[in-house]
Amino acid sequence: MKPQLTFTIALILFASRVFSQANLTVADRISGIYWSPKKDAKIEVYKQGNKYYGKSIWIATPKKDDKNPNESLRNRNLLGIELLSDFNFDHGSYTNGKIYDPDSGKTYDCTMNLMGDDLKVRGYIGISLFGRTEMFERIK
């Protein structure tokens, strides 16, 4: 193979790999550890497969999941449970996910958006117009 053709093929392969990794990097910027809005818990956001999740990794006052609608889960510790689940990255937003509120025991539809280094989380019922937005501060 001619050296010029080999170089061109190598350059194309390298460029396609760089661009595909750059796109992943944008989506994966959400990964990290955040303070809960009340700063009484730390939430780790991570990618698993093609979706994003969040679990509690530190709680100021450890307690049980006593408001859970599933009686068999009411005795579990809140530390380590999944609070954010099944988010897809779509055009700069994390959509079609769920958020579990251990204070009420309810699960809501949810979207998330990075605002600088912080995470804007909106839980809602049905349509996002009827919901509540909270800010999670990234721990640096």
Residue 24 confidence (pLDDT): 53
pLDDT top residue among 8 and 67: 67
Residue 16 confidence (pLDDT): 45
Asked whether the beta carbons of 45 and 30 are under 8 A apart, the reply is yes
pLDDT top residue among 90 and 23: 90
- The burial of 28, by beta-carbon neighbours within 10 Å (0-12 exposed, 13-18 middle, 19 or more buried), is given as middle
Residue 128 confidence (pLDDT): 86
Residue 20 confidence (pLDDT): 41
Give 49-90 pLDDT, tens digit per residue.
999 999 999 999 999 999 999 999 999 999 999 999 999 999
Phi, psi of 130 (to 5 degrees): -100, 85
Strands, DSSP E only, in the chain?
A: 32-35, 41-48, 51-59, 82-90, 93-101, 106-115, 118-124, 131-138
Residue 11 confidence (pLDDT): 45
Intra-chain end-to-end CA distance of the chain, in Å: 50
Predicted model pTM? 0.81
Give 111-129 pLDDT, tens digit per residue.
999 999 999 999 999 888 8
Q: Does pLDDT of 22 surpass 50?
A: no
